[in-house]
Amino acid sequence: MRVAALDCGTNSLRLLVADLEPALGRAVEVERRTTIVRLGQDVDRTGVFAETALQRTFVTLEEYATVIAALEVSATRMVATSAARDVANRDVFVSGVRDRLGVAPDVISGDEEALLSYDGATRGLSELPWVEEPVVVLDIGGGSTEFVVAADGGNGGYRGQGRSRDGVGVRGQSLDIGSVRMSERHLHSDPPSRREVAALVADVDAALGRLEERFVRPGTLVGVAGTITTMVAMSLGLARYDRDRIHHARVPAASLLTAIDKIVAMTVAERAALGFMAPGRADVIAGGALVLGQVVRHTRAQSLVASEHDILDGIAWSLV
């Protein structure tokens, strides 16, 4: 069964086309694309999608729709997360997506976002011999950060049991501390000043003070999405972005924190020049990295495992 999954977040719009074999639990990737559209530009301040942000998103959607048509998929699902939940002009976004893609976006709850992220991130994790329970999935987006764990604190979720569309089997918590939201709120100098960094860290720490105890001291912390995979690339010293090197790489917390300090100290131009930096991410990666650093400290994680499989994969599997 060939399916198309789209994930529209605060910062990026992503597409996965995959051939799924449900009987075997296997997926063969046909096409995967990521485009930084910054849909959530200024949403934290204005409460609405900016016209320019909508147009960037719609142009990319038209490109993706052409790819989907050419690849003859049998089912398509698009999910919209943090930014689309917050805005007053959501109807403009929904109708624009429907006109271009042929299906309306599902503006999902934080609970379903947690479920889809966990399902995608933990597929194949049981093949790693050093995985310890509980497994906590961390997803740092543009507008929010999600934490997800198996409901029983054990292996029910990541070994493929107890998952369902209504979220039974996992527990998640969403905090409004995404990379775009934090960068727009606090980081106005280039590079950020000490005062700006301190204000952002204080904001993140206040949010993490509400984090449920179930997410602290994970046996294995699994990180997904662009902020985390970019910082893992930095920690590994990669000259260019290499999905195969990043996927299931286990990075010690100390190495990750060192990389975060380095990226925050750089100018936007210096970050953009890094071979692994995605276009359009350089101006918000410092904000996301600082969120990541405080999460690592707060949860007392000893290391982080990166996963290139994430909510996109979960969306794809939800179609069967």
**DSSP letter string over 237-298?**
T-SS--HHHHTT-EEEHHHHHHHHHHHHHS-HHHHHTSTTPPTT-TTTHHHHHHHHHHHHHH
Q: How far apart are CA 142 and CA 178, in angstroms?
A: 4
> 14-23: long-range contacts (C-beta < 8 A, 24 or more apart)?
14/312, 15/64, 15/67, 15/68, 15/312, 16/312, 16/313, 16/315, 16/316, 17/67, 17/68, 17/71, 17/73, 18/313, 18/316, 20/316, 20/317, 20/319, 20/320, 22/320
**Considering the domain 2-107, what is its CATH architecture?**
2-Layer Sandwich (3.30)
2-107 and 111-311: identical CATH topology: yes
pLDDT tens figures, 296-307: 999 999 999 999
Among the residue ranges 68-72, 127-131, 144-148, 186-190, the one predicted with the least confidence is 127-131
The C-alpha torsion from 23 through 306 and 84 to 171, rounded to 10°, is 70
Domain 111-311 has CATH 3.40.1080.10: no
Nearest to 64 by CA among 96, 93, 35, 84: 35
Which H or E run contains 207? helix 194-208
Has residue 220 got a pLDDT over 50?
Answer: yes
Q: How far apart are CA 208 and CA 290, in angstroms?
A: 13
Tokens of 295: 């999460």
Whether 83 contacts 9, CB under 8 Å: yes
The residues with which 303 forms a beta bridge, in sequence order, are 252
pLDDT tens figures, 141-159: 888 898 999 876 544 444 4
Nearest to 94 by CA among 120, 116, 65, 61: 61
Has residue 250 got a pLDDT over 60?
Answer: yes
pTM greater than 0.85:
no
Nearest to 143 by CA among 265, 262, 49: 49
pLDDT tens figures, 7-64: 998 888 999 999 998 887 788 999 999 998 989 888 878 889 999 999 999 999 999 9
Has residue 164 got a pLDDT over 70?
Answer: no
Q: Where are the domains of the chain?
A: 2-107, 111-311
